[in-house]
Amino acid sequence: MVDPDGHRYESVVDKQIRLAQERGDFDNLPGKGKPLPALDDPHDELWWVKGYLRREGLSNEALLPPSIQLRKEIDRLPETLRGLPSEQAVRDAVAELNIRIVDFLRAPSGPRVPIGPVKMNEAVQRWRAGRTGPVRPSDTTVRVPHPSPQQASWWWRLLHRR
């Protein structure tokens, strides 16, 4: 760099880079002489986020608004439940999803997408219908207590609609 009087000076960073070049620290770097990856791709202002997700093995769905993430999860639910070993595991998975749906419905954000809790009994019936082998007796036991309609809270009725 040159100051107003015409004298040359070198910043600390420039000096460190020059010294590293003289030592040969940059000579054998991986990718030397090769073009930069994705150099000719169209401009994307989230390129670094997508690269990070790819390196970490995460899906690009993490960038979607919560309403769309939940909608996609509801749509994939039959496939997700198909691999579960027991009815209790199915019920647990549906209950966990319903809790996240209700949490979202309390404070919605993002685009409006029709979302509602998944009906537990319908999900279990679809899971049973999709089973190829016999259902073990322990798979059919329902561990969720069924209170009388007078005792059931609105929350329980919402999650266990028939």
> Apex CA 77: angle with CA 157 and CA 153, to 5°?
10
Is the per-residue pLDDT at 162 higher than 80? Answer: no
pLDDT over 90 percentage in the chain:
44
Which residue's structure tokens are 């404070």?
107
Predicted pLDDT of residue 58: 87
**pLDDT tier at 133 (50, 70, 90 boundaries)?**
low
- Give the three-class secondary structure for 108: coil
Is the per-residue pLDDT at 39 higher than 90? Answer: no
Mean pLDDT of 103-117: 91
| Contact (CB, 8 A) for 112 and 86 | no
Predicted pLDDT of residue 120: 93
Copy the structure tokens of residue 100.
């996240």
| Contact (CB, 8 A) for 84 and 135 | no
Copy the structure tokens of residue 144.
């969720």
